[in-house]
Amino acid sequence: MGEMNRSRLFSTFVWLTGFALLPALAPGADDDAQRAAMTFFEKEVRPILVNRCFECHSNTKQKGGLRVDHIGYLKTGGDTGPAVIPGDPAKSALMEAVRWTNEDFQMPPKNSGGKMPDAEIAILEKWIRIGAPWPEDGSKKVVVTEGGFTEEQRNYWFFQPVKKVTPPDAGGKWVRNDIDRFIAAKQAEMKLKPAPEADRHELVRRVYFDLHGLPPTKEQIDAFVGNKDPKAYEKLVDELLASPRYGERWAQHWLDLVRYAESDGYNADAYRPSVWPYRDYVIKSLNDDKPYDRFVKEQLAGDEIAPEDPSVLIATAFLRHPVYEWNQRDARGQWDIILTDMTDTTGELFLGLSMGCAHCHNHKFDPILQKDYYRLRSFLAPVQWRDDLTLATPAEKKAFNEQQAKWEAATAEIRAKMDALTKPILEPRVERALTRFTDDLQVMTRKPADKRDALEKQLAGLVERQMEHERRTFDPMKSLKSDEAKAEYKALEAELKKFDALKPKPLMEAFVATDAGPAAPAVAIKTRKGEQQIEPGFLSIIDTSLPKIKATKTSTGRRTALAEWITRPDNQLSTRVIVNRMWQYHFGRGIVATASDFGKLGEPPTHPELLDYLTTKFVKGGWHLKPLHREIMLSAAYRQTARQEPDAIAAKVDPSNRYLWRFNPRRLDAEQVRDALLAVSGELDPEAGGPAGDGNSSRRSVYTMKKRNNPNELLRALDMPAGFASTAERQSTTTPTQALHLLNGDWLLARARKLASRVEGIEDAWLAVLGRPPTDKERATAEGFLKKRAGTTRPASDRAADNGEDAEAFKENSPHERLLVNTNEKEGDEFTVEAVASLNSIDVNASVRTLVSRWNGGKDSLESFGWSLGVTGEKSRYKPRNVIVQVVGEDENSNIGYQVVASNIHIELGRRYHFVARVSCTGKNITFTVRDLDTPGAAVQSAVVPMDIRSKLSQGSSQIVIGGLNKRAPTHQWDGRIEAARLVTGYVADKALAADPEKWDAGLVIWRASDPLNSMFAWNGSDTKSVEEADPFRQAMNDLCQVLLNTNEFFYLH
């Protein structure tokens, strides 16, 4: 068990503020009187306290923060202040409570026994009147210092100034730099011995993963291992620190800490399309070695310190990361949650203290007052989330505005006409969005913006976002009532389009925050007894000075003042916290292991002097991170091997390696695993920066979309944080479901196939995946495996024929898997799909063979809005071979809905059919017609099936695809022939349908296999040209590669 038994805190740690004399009676009282008082207390008073109050106010529970099991607690009181003022019953809250004079403050409460008998109340009154005598209890004597904190609290190491430390003279020849002297001194004390230096193979793998999050290539390994230069290691570290890959890796740590995500996190989980510049800002800041103090200031107050500089302004996205619910009518509640989240994160991230505990009461374990929590919150309280700013320089804005003005002037008349058509319908909707809020919020939103106070601006801002949502999602073609009006609008739209050349390119939206104005909203602690206004301030225990706050014309200046304080060179909290984090990410464990909690509940530091030594050096060196990385990585401590088993002493005194008798073995992080898989399969796309790709893209994981409700499965299975709260330490879990994913999931299998296709044989596979040749034993094992599975250890000479020339054939693992359609036009919510096709097989499970789609297969996000026409699989609940349409859009209640609309028309395999599905959101149904073309005179089968989805079928992010879904998913792909397919806007009349595609004359998309392929279409297929089954050796090699990608050696740095 851990060396620190925390329960001892309870006996020694007494929470008291403003506690004066302990002996209850005034000095000079004689012994008899004292004894009488004690007898009165023990016989009369204590039983009342025990019977009436202890259940909720003693050692197990402290409702309202109050304990009554010692006079000290009573005098200190709870959340609402002192409970007992000795000698003054009238001023003692305890009496007010037990007398039930205040309706909101009645003790004991109705459901816990109710009001006490009057006789008992009289006893309590008498007891307080005579000075509230209490028997002395030596063990609870508490020494109080200035400000109400105890000596013990003040002396707590974390609150002490950072010490100037001289490295101890220890370690002898092992020492490479000063870090090692501290490590060696501690080891000597504990009789531990450091491990030998790691060999070059181990080192090169470690530093590449550590600094770049990627495995070294074979060339990179060879270059380092074979380098005779005595400075080879130093040079490697410098080289890697200078590479842009460094920022991509280390940004991930910071993104964890700021709970970076790219979606709102509630029901709609709307994507945040303009948050990614913040991610790029973090990467660039690290690559540029921006001083940490500057980095902090920009994120907390970039809008105040450099409002005109877009590269600084974007840093305030830090204040935008909390989750957000777009349709929350409780605007006050939502804003409170957002502010709480910002305050908690700021406390953990920069100060290393869990402030959250002090939100409702003084912190139970650390000397953080509830007031301190609100003081911190006061700095952040003026923030307003802005949607009206752009990431552009003043010059860019000026140019944009000038051009925009030209376009507006030229189009004023057209737009006025459009508004005249839409406004009568749109405005009542916007008004309705407003009246869904409570009256007080409506009143403040109706005020002119310049008449609102700060809080009103913030809340009305939230209300207006919902009004704006109505405007943004308004679809005139749906809402305009008459066909006439629609036609008129369309014509105007076309007219407007003619001016597009005049229109400036839109500026990048700024996902940032500023203050609501130069005046701050009030911040108050609310308690049962009323409100107390709180001004910004620091942690009372270390700094009671008032912050120097300078308001600007547009901002309170509060956050600048907070940032200045956090980045003061003598701030003992923030400086140690960041240095410790650097250490933690390098060694897998911080000098303080709980990197966001340096308080009493966290772990004590293993090497406090080293932490102070590094902190002093870091601040003195200008807050640069790269020299700190360098110093840590050049130490002998860092260069130790992880391949050292504990000796008897280590196993006994330090089994978990707190004192670094070896390097800590570690599993790769989720992103390291995914990136390494792509790297070794040769697919890694090095494109840096910009909007994120989805999980199927080959870009680094830091550029993968982070949707809070829809995380990348592989990354989440490997403990990527969910992005709701700041994460300081990642987990490393092992579960059977994780193993299933890695064994059977398509994504990893595809990497294995890619890898197998690029390696020559066993030796090559080992080198690619593990960066070393196989041992003789491993080679024999692998050969045995290949022989058993394929009967040979060498590839067959000829491969399966490629039949990719047949334009009608859609086949898995061929170049013609799916046909992607490139068009920006949308079919809307009324459309017709028509195709002539035959199907060779259905899925053995429940997957649907897809004929035509606009769908990514998702069911729960705005991006996944779409539809798909296809044929059901063997285990489908709609029975096999059923022609169905799957739709994702908004239902009647504007919730995201997914529905399977099944025709119950079942087709036969291997026959040509003419398929038609006419989808109608206004008709609330889908009309299917299917005709067997191989059977002369076969009747047309048709069905009209109700549909619950009402809108937005074409609003998702997917493109139109023939023969599959928007992403590659073999079980969902068509297996057979598609001769032609078309997609037409609107409900196509029976007479305009045709089983002969040559007769098709109109459509958004028309594709015929017999026509030459035009630029609107692009084939997408598997690059694995050989079909696995046809080549047992290829199959066995794929398996071998998949196994290698699952090995512990690949997953661990050990």
Partner 1 sequence: MSCNRFDHPTSRRDFLQTAGCGFGAVALAALMGEQQAAAAPLRVAHRPAKAKSVIFLFMEGGPSHLDTFDYKPLLNKLAGQSLPASFKAPITAMGETKSPLLECKRTWKQHGQGGLWISDWFTHVARHADDLAVIHSCASSGINHAGGVCSMNTGSVFGGRPSLGAWAQYGLGTANQNLPGFVVIKDSEATVVNGVRNWGNGFMPAVYQGVEFSSEGTPIKYLDNPKGVDRLRQRDKLDLLAALNRDYNASRASNTELDARIKGYELAFQMQAEAPEAVDLSQESEATKKLYGMDNEATAVFGRNCLLARRLVENGVRFVQLYSGAGSKWDSHKGIEVNHSRLCNAVDKPIAGLLADLKARGMLDETLVIWGGEFGRTPMSEQGDGRDHNPTGFTMWMAGGGVQGGRTYGATDDLGLYAVEDRLHVHDIHSTILYLLGIDHTKLTYNHKGLPERIDQNEGHPFTRLLG
Among 360, 420, 443, 546, binds partner 1 (CB under 8 A): 360
Point out which span in 370-378, 933-941, 975-983, 1028-1036 binds partner 1 (CB under 8 A). 1028-1036
Q: How far apart are CA 396 and CA 366, in angstroms?
A: 50
Closest among 506, 302, 300, 286 to 396, alpha carbons compared: 506
Among 215, 291, 356, 547, binds partner 1 (CB under 8 A): 356
Question: In this structure, which amino acid lies at residue 28?
Answer: G
**Structure token pair of residue 999:** 């007769």
Per-residue binding letters, 874-903, with partner 1 (x by CB under 8 A): -xxx--------------xx-xxxxxx---
Indicate the residue among 833 and 896 with the shorter CB distance to partner 1.
Answer: 896
Question: In this structure, which amino acid lies at residue 932?
Answer: D
**Which positions from 910 through 929 interact with partner 1, judged by CB under 8 A?**
none
CA distance readout (Å), 688 to 287, 292, 681: 13, 23, 19
Q: How far is the CB of 75 from partner 1 (least distance, A)?
A: 20
Point out which span in 141-149, 543-551, 734-742, 998-1006 binds partner 1 (CB under 8 A). 734-742
Indicate the residue among 688 and 749 with the shorter CB distance to partner 1.
Answer: 749
**Which positions from 304 through 333 interact with partner 1, judged by CB under 8 A?**
323, 325, 327-330, 333
Point out which span in 191-199, 287-295, 354-362, 496-504 binds partner 1 (CB under 8 A). 354-362
Among 599, 771, 866, 956, binds partner 1 (CB under 8 A): 599
Indicate the residue among 596 and 704 with the shorter CB distance to partner 1.
Answer: 596
CA atoms within 13 A on the CB side of 934: 11
**Structure token pair of residue 426:** 């749109």
1042 binds partner 1 (CB under 8 A): yes
436 binds partner 1 (CB under 8 A): yes
Closest among 118, 150, 106, 124 to 17, alpha carbons compared: 150
Q: How far is the CB of 199 from partner 1 (least distance, A)?
A: 14
Q: How far apart are CA 866 and CA 860, in angstroms?
A: 11
Residue 248 burial (CB < 10 Å; 0-12/13-18/19+)? buried
Indicate the residue among 926 and 1053 with the shorter CB distance to partner 1.
Answer: 1053
On whether the CB atoms of residues 675 and 701 are closer than 8 A, the answer is yes
**Which positions from 784 through 803 interact with partner 1, judged by CB under 8 A?**
785, 788-789
3-class SS letters over 356-380: HHHCCCCCCCCCCCHHHHHHHHHHH
Among 25, 241, 562, 717, binds partner 1 (CB under 8 A): 717
Among 187, 343, 345, 594, binds partner 1 (CB under 8 A): 594
772 binds partner 1 (CB under 8 A): no
Q: How far apart are CA 581 and CA 589, in angstroms?
A: 9
738 binds partner 1 (CB under 8 A): yes
437 binds partner 1 (CB under 8 A): yes
CA angle centred on 661, ends 655 and 662, rounded to 5°:
95
Point out which span in 299-307, 360-368, 547-555, 607-615 binds partner 1 (CB under 8 A). 360-368
Q: How far is the CB of 926 from partner 1 (least distance, A)?
A: 17
Q: What single string gives the DSSP state of each residue in 178-223?
A: HHHHHHHHHHHHHT--PPPBPPHHHHHHHHHHHHHSSPPPHHHHHH
Among 139, 545, 734, 1014, binds partner 1 (CB under 8 A): 734
Helices (H), 771-914: 776-790
Among 252, 704, 710, 856, binds partner 1 (CB under 8 A): 710
Instruction: Please name the helix (run of DSSP H) or strand (run of DSSP E) that holds residue 830, with its range, or none.
Output: strand 830-839
Q: How far apart are CA 588 and CA 602, in angstroms?
A: 16
CA angle centred on 243, ends 239 and 246, rounded to 5°:
110
Q: Please report the beta strands in 57-191, taking only residues with DSSP state E, as ranges in sequence order.
A: none
**Which positions from 533 through 552 interact with partner 1, judged by CB under 8 A?**
none
**Which positions from 664 through 683 interact with partner 1, judged by CB under 8 A?**
665, 667
1029 binds partner 1 (CB under 8 A): yes
Among 227, 390, 404, 709, binds partner 1 (CB under 8 A): 709
Q: How far is the CB of 974 from partner 1 (least distance, A)?
A: 16
1040 binds partner 1 (CB under 8 A): yes
90 binds partner 1 (CB under 8 A): no
| Cβ-based neighbours of 625, under 8 Å, separated by 6 or more | 250, 286, 289, 292, 582
Q: How far apart are CA 187 and CA 171, in angstroms?
A: 9
**Which positions from 970 through 1009 interact with partner 1, judged by CB under 8 A?**
970-971
Q: In degrees rounded to 5, what are phi and psi of residue 578?
A: -70, -35
Q: How far apart are CA 406 and CA 421, in angstroms?
A: 24
Among 86, 291, 602, 608, binds partner 1 (CB under 8 A): 602
Q: How far is the CB of 865 from partner 1 (least distance, A)?
A: 13
Among 651, 938, 1013, 1016, binds partner 1 (CB under 8 A): 651
**Beta-sheet strand order (sheet of 1017-1020):** 896-906, 882-890, 866-871, 849-854, 960-962, 818-821, 1017-1020
364 binds partner 1 (CB under 8 A): yes
Where do we find the tokens 């529970």? 61
**Which positions from 807 through 866 interact with partner 1, judged by CB under 8 A?**
844-846, 859-860
Point out which span in 368-376, 478-486, 630-638, 780-788 binds partner 1 (CB under 8 A). 780-788
Q: How far is the CB of 348 from partner 1 (least distance, A)?
A: 7
Q: How far apart are CA 402 and CA 394, in angstroms?
A: 12
Q: How far apart are CA 203 and CA 226, in angstroms?
A: 13
**Which positions from 365 through 424 interact with partner 1, judged by CB under 8 A?**
365
Among 1, 119, 143, 989, binds partner 1 (CB under 8 A): 1
Indicate the residue among 270 and 507 with the shorter CB distance to partner 1.
Answer: 270
Q: How far apart are CA 663 and CA 660, in angstroms?
A: 6
Indicate the residue among 267 and 311 with the shorter CB distance to partner 1.
Answer: 267
Closest among 750, 380, 655 to 537, alpha carbons compared: 380
Among 120, 309, 764, 778, binds partner 1 (CB under 8 A): 778
